[in-house]
Chains A and B, each alone.
Chain A
C-alpha cells in the first residue's frame, strides 16, 4: 500500500517535470526557461527523496542538500548573467 502511494507520487512528479520541460523548450523568453530549470531542480530533489524512501536507504539524503545548493547557485549565476551580462565582476565599486 505504502509502495503504491510512493509510486503514484513519483508518477505525479514525473508528469510535473515533463510539463516543466515543455516550458523550457517553448518558453518565449529566457527568464521563463531559467525559472523552469530551477523548478526542475526542486522536482529532482523531491524525486530523490521519494526514491530514497522507496529503496529504504538514507544514503541519498546528502544529495538532497547538494541539489538544493547547486540549483540555488546555478539560478543566481543565470540571473546575474541576464541582468549584467557578466557573471563574476572584477570590481563592483567603479
Chain B
C-alpha cells in the first residue's frame, strides 16, 4: 500500500520566509567579524543551517535542483582562496600571510576600510559551508 503523503504546508511556507532571514543573519555575522563577534566560521555554520532547514522542509532532490552546487568543490575553492590570499603577500615582498588594509571612497558606502583579511575569511566561510553540507548530504543519502 502506498504511504499517505503528509501535508506540511505550514512548515514549507515558514521555511521560505525564515531561510532568507537566516541567510541575511549569516551574511551580517560574516561581515561583522572584524569589529564584533562573528566571522567566517560562525557565518558558514549559519549559512549551512539555513540550507539544512531547506533540507528538512523539502527533500534532497528539490534542494539539489535549486542549489546545483557540488559542495566538495565549494570547500576546495575556499581552501584555494585562503592559500591565494596568504601567497599574495609574496608579490609585495612580505612574509607569508601578511595582511594589509586601506581606506577607500566607495560610491554609496562612503569612506570604507577594506582589509585583505576579509578575503581570507571568505575562504574559511566557503570551507565551512562545503564541509558541513558534504557531511550532512552524504549522511542523508544513506539508505
Contacts and interface: CB of A to CB of B under 8 A. Distances in A.
Q: Main SS of chain B's interface residues?
A: helix
A59 B32 CA distance: 12
Interface in B67-114: none
Interface in B52-69: 52-53, 55-62
A42 B48 CA distance: 22
B37 A62 contact: yes
Interface residues on A, range: 20 to 34
Interface in B107-143: 136, 139-141, 143
B60 A89 contact: yes
6 contacts: A62-B37, A69-B46, A70-B49, A73-B52, A88-B55, A92-B62
Interface residues on B, range: 20 to 34
B53 A90 contact: no
Contacts of A59: 36-37
A18 interface: no
Interface string B2-29: 0001100001000000100010010001
A76 B62 CA distance: 18
A19 interface: no
Contacts of B36: 59, 62
Given A76-B11, A90-B61, A91-B61, A62 B6 contact: no
Contacts of A91: 59-61
A94 to B, nearest CB: 9
